[in-house]
Amino acid sequence: MASPFSPDSTGGMDQEMGKLHKVAGVRLPDKPPSTLWDVSISEGRISSLDAHDPDRAGPESSPGILDGANRLLAPSLCHAHIHLDKCFLLQDPKFSDLQIEKGDFQEAMEMTGKAKARFEEDDLLRRGRQLIEESIYHGVTAMRAFVEVDGGVQFKCLDAGLKLKDEFEDRCEVQICAFAQLPLFSGEDGGEEVRKLMTAAAQEEAVDALGSTPYVERDENKSKMNARWISSLALTAGKHLDLHLDYFVEEHKQPLIWDTLNIIKDRNWLERGGKQITLGHCTRLTRFRDWEWDQLRQRVGELPVSYVGLPTSDLFMMRTDENVRGTLPVVKMIKQHDLQAAIAVNNVGNAFTPQGNCDPLGIATLGVGLYQAGTKKDAELLYATVSSRAKGAIGCESTSLSLEVGEPADFVLFDRMDSGWRCRKSIAEVVYDAGPSRQTIRRGRVTAL
C-alpha cells in the first residue's frame, strides 16, 4: 500500500470519487455538536446547509455523496508562508553531509547556500512534491510557496515551483512567490544580478507574488532601497508583495516597518490598484508597547497589510545573548489592535527550522500555550489564523467557520469514521489536539483520504 504522503497515494481518487454534490451527516463549527447537517455543493461551492434527516436521506454510499459519519467538517487550511525549494534538506540523502552544528542564523544561511549550489530540477521537484502532498494530507488547499531567485540558482527553483503549481492545480492552489533571499543592493556587484533576475521573474504571468529580505542588506539605507525597489516592482507587475521584515529581537536595533509603510504609501499603492501586502517574521515588533501597536494600526490605515508570525522558526532562530526570544503576538494583534494577522509553518526540515512538519494546525496548537489562548473563542481565532485569515493574508478566497452559502467548498473532515466518543466535535477540540486522520476536500472534490 502506498504511503499517505507518497505522490501516488491519491492516484485515481478524483476519477473514482468524481465531484461531490453533498457531504452528509456532519457536525459544523458554529452549530450545536448534537445536531448533524448535510452540506450540498454545486460547481465547487456551498449551495445549501440542511438539517440531516437520517430517515429521509438516501444511501450515503451513492456516487457524489460522502458519508460524514458524525464527524466535524471545517474550512480547509492554508500555508500563508512556506519555502518550497528549501524543504527536507536535513532528510534528503543528497544533502546528508549538511547537518546542524551551531543552530544559529548564520549557519543556516551558509548551509542553505551550500545546498543551493547543488540544486537540480530532479531534487527540487522531488522535495517540493513531497511537501505539497503532505500538506494536502493535513488539510491544506492553498499555500504561498517561496522559491529563490539569485545568481547561483538562477531560475531553477522558480521553474520547478511553476511546474509543481501546474501539477497540483486541481488539488491545491499553489501561489508562487519569486523571492530574493540575497541582497538587492549589497554584495560584490551591488545586487545588480539579483535585480535583473527578479525583474525577469516578475514578467512571468504564473508568478503570483514578489518578495525580498530587506534585513540582509549591509546597512539601513540599503534596506530602505530594497523595500522601495521590490514594492515598486510588485506594483508595476501587478503582483502581491511579500516581505521578510525586521527579523531580529534586539531592542537597540530600529525596525524598518515604519519606513516600509511610508515607502508603500509613497507609491500610491491603493490609488494604483496595488495587491495584497504580506509582512513575515517581524520579530522586532515583539518589543512594541501598546501605544506603538496603536500607532502601527493607524499607520497601516486602509492598506491591505497582513502580518504572518512564524513561531517555530522564530523561536528557534531569534534569541539574544540573554535568551530573549520572540514571535509576533498574533492573538493580541487581532483582538486588541485590529490588525490582520496569521501564523504559518515557514520551513520544514532545514537548518532554519529542523523541527515540525507540514501541518498548519500544529502551529495553532503551539499557539494555545504560546499566546495563552485557551478559550473556545481563542481556539476558533487560532484556527482562523491557519485557515481563513491565512488565506486572506495571501489574497486568497476563503471559507469561513460559518460555512456560508456561496463560499468555496474547501473543507477538512476530521477523524476516522470509527473514532467513537473521541471524535472531535468542535474547533476547540481540533486546535487542542487535531489528530492525524483527516480528509481534504477542495472545490467539492476529495483530494486526500
Domains annotated for the chain, with CATH where assigned, are 13-76+400-448 (2.30.40.10), 77-393 (3.20.20.140)
The rounded radius of gyration (Å) of the Cα atoms in the chain is 22
Nearest to 386 by CA among 398, 374, 375, 376: 398
pLDDT of residue 33: 84
CA dihedral sign of residues 41, 42, 44, 49: negative
186/346 Cα distance (integer angstroms): 25
Question: Three cell numbers at 116?
Answer: 543551493
Please give the model's pTM, rounded to 2 decimal places: 0.93
Spans in the chain with pLDDT lower than 50: 1-3, 7-17
> What's the pLDDT score for residue 3?
43
pLDDT score of 119: 95
What is the DSSP code string of 189-211?
A: TTTHHHHHHHHHHHT-TT--EEE
DSSP 355: S
Q: What is the pLDDT of residue 8?
A: 46
Is residue 433 classed as helix, strand or coil in its secondary structure?
coil
Q: Write the pLDDT tens digit of every residue in 315-374.
A: 888 776 676 678 999 999 999 999 999 999 999 999 888 888 999 999 999 999 999 999
In this prediction, residue 318 carries a pLDDT of 75
State pLDDT tens for residues 4-45.
Answer: 555 444 433 343 446 899 999 999 999 998 899 999 999 999
Neighbouring-strand partners of residue 212: 180, 243
Amino acid 326: pLDDT: 87
* Phi, psi values for residue 287, rounded to 5°: -85, -5
Taking CA atoms, 369 is separated from 81, 147, 260, in Å, by 22, 31, 31
pLDDT of residue 4: 52
CA-based end-to-end distance of the chain: 13
In the sheet with 240-245, reading across from the earlier edge strand, the strands are 77-83, 140-148, 173-180, 209-212, 240-245, 277-281, 305-309, 341-343
